[in-house]
Amino acid sequence: MTAANDGARRAGPVDAVVLDYGGVLTRPVRDSIAAWLETDGIEPESFSRTLKAWLSRDAEDGTPVHRLETGELTVAEFDTLLAAELRTVHGGPVDPGGLLARLFAGMRPDPAMFELAGELRDLGIRVALLSNSWGNAYPRERIDALLDPVVISGEIGPRKPLAPIYRLTLDRLGLPAHRVLFVDDAEANVLGARAVGMQALRHTDADTTRAHLADLVPGLSRRPGSAAPRS
């Protein structure tokens, strides 16, 4: 049995929950992307084609996305490279200035997930952040007050789904991998966590993630703002 399959099979009590940011602690990133495509008049296929190529695991360390996530590219450099690959619905060029800022402009925190993180911490569960940075602004005051450690790829070098960033997070938590649940909206990142022995869950929405955690964390209610029934 592979490590990934073993991690998928095993589920048990956890001492810490590690959350991704975009798409987990926020509303779906695809909603912000869709709004940007429409507002800027971007031809959607040109973006999806570029994103697929740049997220390819066959070029693990060389694509502009990977280099942005590890801090090797600045946001301005990435904006220029991305704009060159895109076209508008009218066939014109795409303005590179502030391109990523416009792409993420519609991304909003998900109150239900922040509430869940607070409840977990109140129950004595460590709650951490592990995020691949795309140059998007993090609400640092809010996440630094709630989450510890905060691990952001662009600040430290390694990136998901490669093993070193998960191991670094575990080292900072000081916990064994099997006692930590990782939550991410990208399947590749979930599999990367399982490969190092962590429990892992692919996030789809706050209610589903809360229900999964309620099975692992004594005292956590399946409904936000409600006390769990006592046995």
Give the pLDDT of residue 56.
Answer: 80
Same domain membership, residue 72 and residue 175:
no
- Give the structural domain span for 150: 3-27+109-214
Answer whether residue 228 is part of any domain.
Answer: no
Same domain membership, residue 179 and residue 84:
no
Q: If pLDDT is split at 50, 70 and 90, which confidence band does 21 have?
A: very high
Give the pLDDT of residue 230.
Answer: 44
pLDDT for residue 2 is more than 70: no
Same domain membership, residue 169 and residue 94:
no
The token duo for 58 is: 């066959």
Give the pLDDT of residue 5.
Answer: 41
Among 173, 168, 171, smallest CA distance to 152 is for: 168
How many CB atoms are located within 10 Å of the residue 192 CB?
Answer: 22
The token duo for 4 is: 């990934």
Same domain membership, residue 91 and residue 8:
no
Answer whether residue 130 is part of any domain.
Answer: yes
Sequence-ordered alpha helix ranges (H) in 174-204 = 187-195
| HSE-CB for 64 with a 13 A CA cutoff | 18
Same domain membership, residue 48 and residue 22:
no
Tens-place pLDDT, residues 122-160 = 999 999 999 999 987 899 999 999 999 999 999 999 999
Work out how many domains the chain is built from and give that number. 2
Give the pLDDT of residue 57.
Answer: 65
Instruction: Give the rounded percent of residues in the chain with a pLDDT score beyond 70.
Output: 90
Answer whether residue 225 is part of any domain.
Answer: no
- The one-letter code for the residue type at 65 is V
The pTM assigned to this predicted structure is 0.89
CATH number at residue 124: 3.40.50.1000
Answer whether residue 82 is part of any domain.
Answer: yes
Same domain membership, residue 130 and residue 115:
yes
Same domain membership, residue 115 and residue 203:
yes
pLDDT for residue 59 is more than 70: no
What phi and psi, each to the nearest 5 degrees, are found at residue 88? Answer: -85, 165
Same domain membership, residue 92 and residue 117:
no
